[in-house]
């Protein structure tokens, strides 16, 4: 595995070109095309495949656990014209974590490597991202995602089978992230995935089933300069609906620069909510003993005339990835309530509470 220091050193030695000389593809409204857009988009600055979910045990005595695996592809500031085979033009980064309430914190691991030399790759034809012994690949025939992660302290293999059509976020996949049209991404989700997993951790090897959610997003200029980070949820509701919401927060303030939500029924009808119809509020905080960041781990979410509340599976779901992606996340398996009744499960992700995020 190539270390982050080695990658940065190779980048510095291999190129004298400046950031201004590297031209990233702009995000503009366009049609999303499958299967091509399941694959990587190396002409854009940043991209990720983010798969989260809840897994239940074979019996009622097994407490549910959360899992997430994320593969990032990043185009660096090294120009494609650089002839060196060692120039780190594209990086692949991966995170994986298990949220087990029987533990006091996440089990997590991370990897980073430049593409090439068999260390890492991201196919442009369909989802197929590899890094060391980690892989996420999509079957063209069935649409199912298969993941293999051999991490420090745990391992898992799973298959996530779509049960519903792809959900294009924003305006047919063009997703605004700020007041300017350039502050946008291409973004689609696959909620209500049927997941079968084989997990190994703490000396145990067990099979579990559950429901998952996949986000695929790519962009070149994602956030405004004064943005601190985001709050995001992807929730599989028990009635088959899918709830997505996010708020981009302003630095030095809890004010929202931009917000969005979508609610799709099991039957396929999608409601879109704009910035004035989406609001996040805090129900409970947790302070990390490691980073000293205070995270609002239980949220109230107002969408239109509906009010939802999230409750974390466990408080400490902080993932410090400053050695790879450069950010600290709270990525938490959470329950969703409405009117005091549990109505779904999914993930709450938050960034920018330690320092403003820079992708």
Per-residue pLDDT of 128-141, as tens digits, reads 999 989 999 999 99
Structure tokens at 253: 């303030």
**Confidence at residue 94, expressed as pLDDT on a 0 to 100 scale:** 96
CA 287 to chain centre: 22
Length of the chain: 359
- Local structure of 123: helix, strand or coil: coil
How wide is the angle at C-alpha 36 spanned by C-alphas 198 and 210, nearest 5°?
25
**Confidence at residue 1, expressed as pLDDT on a 0 to 100 scale:** 42
Cβ atoms of 230 and 247 closer than 8 Å: yes
Cβ atoms of 229 and 357 closer than 8 Å: yes
How far apart CA 344 and CA 279 sit, in angstroms, is: 19
| Domains of the chain, earliest start first | 4-15+38-351 (2.40.370.10)
Residues 6 or more apart in contact with residue 179 via CB below 8 angstroms: 224, 257, 258
**What is the 8-class DSSP label of residue 45?**
S
Cβ atoms of 192 and 147 closer than 8 Å: no
Using alpha carbons, list the distances in angstroms from residue 349 to 61, 134, 270: 28, 22, 22
pLDDT below 50 — which residues of the chain? 1-20
According to DSSP, the residues that pair with 278 across neighbouring strands are: 303
**Confidence at residue 91, expressed as pLDDT on a 0 to 100 scale:** 95
**Confidence at residue 203, expressed as pLDDT on a 0 to 100 scale:** 83
Q: Residue 234: enclosing H or E segment and its boundaries?
A: strand 227-237
DSSP 51-85: EEEEEE-SSTTSPPEEEEEEEEEEE-SS-TT---T
Cβ atoms of 11 and 87 closer than 8 Å: yes
| CA dihedral angle for residue 155, residue 157, residue 161, residue 166, rounded to 10 degrees | 50
Phi, psi of 180 (to 5 degrees): -95, 145
Cβ atoms of 314 and 108 closer than 8 Å: no
How far apart CA 35 and CA 88 sit, in angstroms, is: 27
Structure tokens at 148: 């293999």
- Local structure of 357: helix, strand or coil: coil
Written in H, E and C, the secondary structure of 325-345 is CCEEEEEEEEEEEECCEEEEE
b/e code 294-312 from CB counts within 10 Å (16+ = b): ebbbbbebbbeeeebbbbb
């Amino acid at each position: 595995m190539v270390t982050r220091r080695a990658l940065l050193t190779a980048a510095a030695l291999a190129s004298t070109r400046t950031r201004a000389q590297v031209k990233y593809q702009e995000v503009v409204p366009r049609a999303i095309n499958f299967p091509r857009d399941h694959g990587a988009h190396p002409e854009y600055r940043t991209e990720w495949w983010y798969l989260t979910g809840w897994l239940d045990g074979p019996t009622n005595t097994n407490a549910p656990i959360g899992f997430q695996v994320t593969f990032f592809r990043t185009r660096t500031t090294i120009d494609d014209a650089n002839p060196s085979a060692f120039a780190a033009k594209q990086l692949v980064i991966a995170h994986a974590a298990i949220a087990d309430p029987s533990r006091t914190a996440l089990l997590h691991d991370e990897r980073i490597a430049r593409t090439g030399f068999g260390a890492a790759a991201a196919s442009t034809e369909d989802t197929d991202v590899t890094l060391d012994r980690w892989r996420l690949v999509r079957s063209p025939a069935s649409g199912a995602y298969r993941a293999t992660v051999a991490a420090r302290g745990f391992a898992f293999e799973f298959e996530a089978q779509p049960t519903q059509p792809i959900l294009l976020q924003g305006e047919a996949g063009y997703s605004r992230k700020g007041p300017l049209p350039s502050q946008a991404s291409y973004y689609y989700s696959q909620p209500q995935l049927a997941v079968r997993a084989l997990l190994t951790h703490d000396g145990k090897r067990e099979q579990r089933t559950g429901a998952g959610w996949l986000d695929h997003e790519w962009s070149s200029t994602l956030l405004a300069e004064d943005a601190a980070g985001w709050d995001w949820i992807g929730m599989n509701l028990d009635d088959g609906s899918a709830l997505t919401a996010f708020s981009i927060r302003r630095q030095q303030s809890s004010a929202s620069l931009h917000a969005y939500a979508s609610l799709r029924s099991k039957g396929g009808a999608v409601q879109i909510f704009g910035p004035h119809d989406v609001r996040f509020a805090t129900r409970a905080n947790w302070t990390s003993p490691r980073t000293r960041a205070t995270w609002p781990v239980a949220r109230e979410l107002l969408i239109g005339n509906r009010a939802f509340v999230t409750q974390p599976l466990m408080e400490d779901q902080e993932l410090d990835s400053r050695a790879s992606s450069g950010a600290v996340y709270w990525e938490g398996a959470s329950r969703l309530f409405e009117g005091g009744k549990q109505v779904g499960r999914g993930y709450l992700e938050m960034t920018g509470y330690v320092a403003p995020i820079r992708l």
